[in-house]
Structures are given as structure tokens and as C-alpha cells.
Amino acid sequence: MSSTTGILFKVTTFGESHGKSIGAVIDGCPPRIRLNESDIQIQLDRRRPGQSDLTTGRNEKDLVRILSGVENGQTLGTPIALLIDNRDHRPVDYGNTLDIPRPSHADYTYRMKYGINAASGGGRASARETAARVAAGAIAEKFLFETHGIRIVAWVSAAGSATAPEMGHDVSRRQVEKTSTRCPDPETARQIKKQIMRAREDSDSIGGIITCICKNMPAGLGEPVFDKTEARLAQAMLSIPASKGFEIGSGFAGAAMQGSTHNDLFIKRDDHLGTRTNFSGGIQGGITNGEPILFKVAFKPPATIGKAQNTVDYDGNDAILNAKGRHDPCVVPRAVPIVEAMTALVLADLALCQIVKN
């Protein structure tokens, strides 16, 4: 298991969804960055289920505590340990899931790899683990903003069959928060809400797409050839539970374009060069060029649904799986701060490397 990521800005997460606590240790955050618990809590609150009319009603209130690495509102340069208690960590009623691997869940693969059950270590495959990432990412965001002025904004650009128009470079986090769908286009937001409601009624689930933009980027971030900025972002995004795809700039659509249209011609911009278009997504040759980074992440529909499923148990016998309890029919709105957090972790790590090289 590799729960540590980053070369200089290193993050380690821990905790099963049904254990005592989850948390993270951030090792490598530079000293003298202003930081307090509310900087972190604000992002954690955005990830919390039960926060809106759209999500599951479980009362999963996450309070973060900083255990080390910060004093008098400033980082010390030492490891920052964050702890979030699982308020209600009695063993969950999993129905018959201990005998039947849940389809498209990690139950089967965790048993094959670790020889353990879903209710325990499989809990690392739960979305709960991402709370620790969001907490760590909030620190990376603080560092990036204080030292470089970098701003990261993600939003829901599609869910189910609804897709928002391209939103340009000016979406703000405030706009994103206006609706519970986290889609800043009002008409699409309405459609997405309707589709989530319908999926809930059907005991089914829907997927979606998150778009993310990083503004005020310095040129020069990224470590070719293997740690190109888009390569590191791709790994970070595909490590988020339920993500299925990543594209930078023009992405898959770019594959159908012609070079003469796709090339981002240079223009003079104050004291440096910019580009007329941004099909590159702010990165050329794996290195940021100073234009906004722009990428998308696809998420599958949640695997946990209320509908009965005809599958087999661990012994291969036919079985019908009936999941109990309420389930979240669409996780994309809640995944928005997770995408932002993982983006921040990648950029913080590359930013420290970048300072090195110049």
C-alpha cells in the first residue's frame, strides 16, 4: 500500500472508514506559512456529506485538529499532523456484503491482495479517506496562494446527461458554491439537480465530470520527462475513488483537431509571452507556460446503489445483493474539493522542485 505521495511536499494519509480516526501527515511544508485550523476546516466542510439537499443524510461531521507543525498561526517547517475523528465508528451493518463482493467496489480486489474484508481495510477504498486528502490539500493551497498567488477552482461541468457550456477562465469558488450541484451554469445546475433526484428515486446513481482551472500560474513548473505537470496531475486525479478519466487542455477532442488549429500561437503579454488560445491547457513539454492550467476529470456513477444486483458470492454461487441504507446517487459535487486538494498537492510539490532549478 502506498499512502504517501510527493517528493518534497510529502503527504501520507491513514485511517479506515470505520476505524477510530483518519488523518494525514504533511512533511515538507515550508516554514512561516500562515495557517490555522479554520483554513482546513472550510474545505473539509465542503466535502462533507449531508451538507445539502442532494446528498445522503448521514451526519458525518468532520472536525480537524492540527497536532504538530504549527505554532502561533504559522507553520514551523516540521511535519504537520492532522487528525479527524470518526464520530460514529461502530461496525456498520453491511447486510450480506461480507459474503458477496459488491460489484465495481474494492471488496474483491482487497481480499485478493491483502486477504482482508471490506469492512476493515477495504475501508481505505472508501470515499472517507479523501477527507484526509482535502485537509492536506488545504495546506498546499495556502502555501501556493501565499507564495505564488495561485488560485485553484473546480466545478461540476457535467452529470448524467447534462453538460454545461464551456465556462472560460473566470469561474470563482463563490459562483461554484451558489448551488448544491456545484455547477456554475444555472440552467445546467437545474438539470443536474433533476437528474440526481430521479436517480435517487430509482435507487440508482449517475456519474459526472469536474473541470478544474489553476490561475496565476508561474511559468516553469513540471519536471520532464516523467514528472511532467500533466502527468503528475493525471496520477493525482486517477487516484481519487471513482475517477475514470483525465484530460488536459483540448484532451480527447484535441485528437480530432488539426495542428494548424490546435497550435497555441504566441502573443506578447506585458513583460512575457502568452498564447492566443489555450488548447495546451497551460502546459507545454510538461512545463507550465504561465497560462491557466485547465483539465477535466470523469467520474463513474457510484457503485453503491439500492437496486438489487444479480451477482455471485466469494465462492462463485449465484447471489442477489441488496445494499441497505441510504446511498449518495451522485458524488461529483462532493468531489469538487477533492479535485482541488489533489491539484494543490501536485502543484505544491512541483513548485518546491521548481524553486530548486532556477
Mark 165-204 with x for binding to a second copy (rule: CB under 8 A) and - for no binding: ----------------------------------x--x-x
Q: In this complex, which beta carbon is closest to a second copy, that of residue 172 or of residue 320?
A: 320
Residue at grid coordinates 484526509: 132
**List of residues 6+ apart from 114 with CB closer than 8 A:** 121
Q: In this complex, which beta carbon is closest to a second copy, that of residue 184 or of residue 207?
A: 207
**C-alpha to C-alpha distance for 141 and 155, rounded to whole angstroms:** 16
Mark 90-109 with x for binding to a second copy (rule: CB under 8 A) and - for no binding: -----------x-xxxx-xx
Mark 65-84 with x for binding to a second copy (rule: CB under 8 A) and - for no binding: x-xxx-x----xxxxxx-x-
**C-alpha to C-alpha distance for 166 and 211, rounded to whole angstroms:** 9
Q: In this complex, which beta carbon is closest to a second copy, that of residue 170 or of residue 325?
A: 325
Smallest distance, Å, CB 260 to a second copy?
Answer: 5
Among 236, 338, 339, 347, binds a second copy (CB under 8 A): 236
**List of residues 6+ apart from 108 with CB closer than 8 A:** 101, 314
Smallest distance, Å, CB 244 to a second copy?
Answer: 5
Type of residue found at 143:
F
Site for a second copy in 11-30 (CB under 8 A): 12-16, 19-23, 25, 27-28, 30
Could you give the angle at the alpha carbon of 268 between the alpha carbons of 262 and 270, nearest 5°? 135
**C-alpha to C-alpha distance for 172 and 155, rounded to whole angstroms:** 9
Smallest distance, Å, CB 323 to a second copy?
Answer: 10
Site for a second copy in 306-335 (CB under 8 A): 307, 309-312, 314, 316-317, 329
Among 39, 60, 141, 223, binds a second copy (CB under 8 A): 223
φ/ψ of 34, rounded to 5, equals: -65, 130
How many residues of this chain bind a second copy (CB under 8 A)? 149
CA dihedral 326, 330, 332, 337 (to 10 degrees): -20
Could you give the angle at the alpha carbon of 145 between the alpha carbons of 144 and 150, nearest 5°? 80
Chain-centroid distance, C-alpha 215 = 18
CB 331 within 8 A of CB 249: no
Site for a second copy in 245-304 (CB under 8 A): 245-252, 254-260, 262-268, 273, 275, 279-281, 283-290, 296, 298-304
**C-alpha to C-alpha distance for 83 and 62, rounded to whole angstroms:** 10
Residue 42 CA: distances (Å) to CA of 74, 186, 268, 328? 18, 24, 38, 22
Among 2, 93, 165, 174, binds a second copy (CB under 8 A): 2
Site for a second copy in 28-67 (CB under 8 A): 28, 30-32, 65, 67
Smallest distance, Å, CB 349 to a second copy?
Answer: 11
357 makes contact with a second copy (CB under 8 A): yes
Among 58, 169, 244, 324, binds a second copy (CB under 8 A): 244
Smallest distance, Å, CB 12 to a second copy?
Answer: 5
Q: In this complex, which beta carbon is closest to a second copy, that of residue 7 or of residue 42?
A: 7
CB 251 within 8 A of CB 211: no
